[in-house]
Structure 1
């Protein structure tokens, strides 16, 4: 028995079908490919045929939507855009796929590609599970079916929370834009938000020192990035997206300026900050300046085509670190370790928050500009001495 639109890999059948050229504008890929999750030729043939039939039906729908409506010239719609039927606005219906386009067109300007992908992927999951409907046609049952499908895929509670948050943002924004009264069924959906969530572990001080020693030994661009993060607690994306001018190594207080750039946004408004450079972070900053002259980026390899590719940096560095760190520890563990190391030298909590770009509770914390650099430098110097 042959299995249509398929191939095998390690005995597992995969569905694969090319997107028709005339519909390529609706997709961000040239072909659709995914696992059929079976080694049985009969099961694979059934699933592949069902998937092909679903695609044929949906592609017919897309082609009809792109084509001129038969008898369109007979509709009682004035040139100025009056209503065809009394009481029903022409913009009164909006499909979820159209809602994504509205959302990205209005809110996606200047946002990174990951922002666009998150909206398209999350709402694409909804369309795959319960269909591409008018926003008002979605029900709580649809939302629950969608939740169950995500759980069945083995996604963690935090991932499901993120997907539902994106879907709510897209649907609420699009409904507001077109003036649709909308009771969002994707709000208030219950699921275990802690299911499958792994706590991120801080790196022990001895491990931090071991990794820093390896960085000094290898002395290359990747290790400069590790060393820079290790004694500043920056997020990896913040460090990978630094401009060369953000690393100030001269003067009484060498520092790194963490600010937004066209190629890399910050996670929150409070993430804008300056952190004194001490220990191996200062060494790394000096090595970066000595090796990079006349460029814009501190790490050019991770800043191409106007975007910072922090995922690539994370994959490479986590792979290098894995044999040397305890289970569950990653590059982000340096950020958790910084907080513990500052606690160990009894650094005040609000100074810790300022150094890490964390939100400090309390109305009064919003007043003033925070601690001056010389105070931050004093505590960062204690941190380094306290861990050597």
Structure 2
């Protein structure tokens, strides 16, 4: 496809493709604007075509749902709304006169208000969780869902093979959506999706730390092979960074201080977002992480990325990095150990030198509980460096 011809439902502005589609007249009352338009975040016509087609298909499905809601109920003109005369309340008890929104509408309300500036994973989680409910129980007004629906939904998730931890995330997202939508509408909801019982440990495997001797073996192998994949392993092994954080680093994120020490600045990038606000931090580079950083900075090339192979598109491909490196590590580590195990190992290593708990939280980008931890800027780099030297 020629890059100069815009695919269906797109236009180009400053070289970037945008999705654009006019809202059908009969559905305008559901929207605040007559047209949907947003950036597809790509300069590639092929990628834009695929993303626009997917968006258009999603809209067609949703618009079909909206149109089906507008179909006249047979005999609707004969109903006496709120009356208790000839048509008794028991005769129309099956007809919902709810003032609540539908679950599908609740998702839109939630994402419109709370989804601004949030990563695509935030939107997908909300849409996926509520989509599961609609598949299992139908798209109902929020106050029509019952505890039986919630239990049916739980059983459907378990039948799909979801682990207890996944069920916890899905139910947490679902409660957030439904409670927020009800609050926005000024309505009180007795949420049936709260307090649903399930085994939270079912299917959950322990993430074991890497034993000290195996850690040394992996790091030694990294220096022996000495390529970009092994630099990534070494960098994570002696910092405890999340793999996505490390894979999405730019070379400018690795900073040389006046005293010659190296620090990695973990910060938000358009191609790689951080998991939480507390994930933004500076981590001193010691041990094999310092070696890996030096090898990265020594490489000539036009790329701004520390690991170009995982940053060829608009977003860091951390999944590809995880698959490749976890496969490589199997030969040198016990069963069940993955790249994420380095984070567990770093926490144990810092415990072994009796470091303060909030030092570990600051180094690893974990949330520290307590009101007092919300004040100040945290420990200075010199203090963090002392503890990193003690474990590497």
Distance 1:169 1:363, change over 3 A: closer
- Equivalent position to 1:324, from 322, 328, 332: 332
* 1:335 and 2:319 are equivalent in the alignment: no
Would the aligned equivalents of 1:292 and 1:298 in 2 still touch at CA under 8 Å?
A: no
SS in 2 for 1:275: strand
Q: Identify which of 210, 235, 244 aligns with 2:242.
A: 235
Offset at residue 201 of structure 1 (A): 0.4
Aligned-residue CA RMSD in angstroms?
3.1
Unaligned runs of 5+ residues in structure 1 are 1-21, 31-58, 72-84
Whether the aligned pair in 2 keeps the contact of 1:242 and 1:299 (CA below 8 Å) is: yes
Match of 2:181 in 1: 174
Residue 214 in 1 paired to residue 221 in 2? Answer: yes
1:277-300 deviation line (CA, Å, top 9, x unaligned): 011111111222222545443223
2:267 maps to 1:266: no
1:210-233 Cα distance to aligned partner (Å, 9 max, x none):
111222222222221111100000
Which of 111, 120, 134 is the equivalent residue of 1:104?
A: 111
* Residues 9-28 of structure 1 aligned to structure 2 (within 5 Å): 25-27=56-58
How do 1:18-97 and structure 2 match up within 5 A?
A: 25-27=56-58, 63=64, 65-66=66-67, 92-97=99-104
Query: How has the CA–CA distance of structure 1 residues 258 and 107 changed in structure 2, closer, same or farther, with 3 Å as cutoff?
Result: same
Q: Any idea what the Cα deviations from partners look like across 1:351-387, whole Å, max 9, x if unmatched? A: 2222122233444333332222112112211211xxx
CA 1:120 to 1:366, structure 2 compared with 1: closer, same or farther past 3 Å?
closer
Moved more, 359-368 or 132-141: 359-368
Moved more, 201-210 or 267-276: 267-276
CA distance in 1, matches of 2:264, 2:176: 34
Instruction: Describe the shift of the 1:347–1:70 C-alpha distance in structure 2 as closer, same or farther (beyond 3 A).
Output: closer
Residue 292 to residue 93, structure 1, CA distance change in 2 (3 Å): farther
Distance 1:26 1:176 in 2: 30
1:312-354, CA deviations, whole angstroms, 9 ceiling, x for partnerless residues?
A: 2212211121222111111110001011112223333332222
Aligned to 2:255: 248
Residue of structure 1 equivalent to 2:209? 202
Q: Distance in 2 between matches of 1:68 and 1:333?
A: 49
Q: Is the 8 A contact 1:112 1:307 kept in 2?
A: no
Q: Which moved more, 1:266-275 or 1:126-135?
A: 266-275
Return the alpha-carbon distance in structure 2 between the equivalents of residues 159 and 64 of structure 1.
28
For 1:301, the equivalent position in structure 2 comes to: 309
Q: Note if contact 1:130-1:146 (Cα within 8 Å) is conserved in structure 2.
A: yes
* Aligned residues of 2:98 and 2:141 also touching (Cα < 8 A): no
Moved more, 230-239 or 170-179: 170-179
Contact 2:255/2:262, CA 8 A, preserved across alignment: yes
Q: How many residues get paired?
A: 320
Query: What's the CA shift for 1:67?
Result: 7.5
Structure 2 CA distance for aligned equivalents of residues 343 and 377 of structure 1: 15
Asked if 1:383 corresponds to 2:391, the answer is yes
Distance, in Å, in 2 between the alignment partners of 1:154 and 1:184 is 25
Q: Distance in 1 between matches of 2:352 and 2:322?
A: 27
Distance 1:118 1:364, change over 3 A: closer
SS in 2 for 1:306: coil
Question: How far apart in 2 are the matches of 1:24 and 1:341?
Answer: 47
User: Would you say the 8 A contact 1:249–1:282 is kept in 2?
Assistant: no
Residue of structure 2 equivalent to 1:348: 356
CA contact (8 A) 1:92 1:179 kept: no
Deviations 1:5-53 (A, max 9, x none): xxxxxxxxxxxxxxxxx9973539x9xxxxxxxxxxxxxxxxxxxxxxx
- How far apart, in 2, do the equivalents of 1:67 and 1:204 lie? 59
Distance 1:345 1:99, change over 3 A: same
User: How far, CA to CA, are the matches of 1:361 and 1:62 in structure 2?
Assistant: 44
Alpha-carbon shift at residue 93 of structure 1 (Å): 4.3
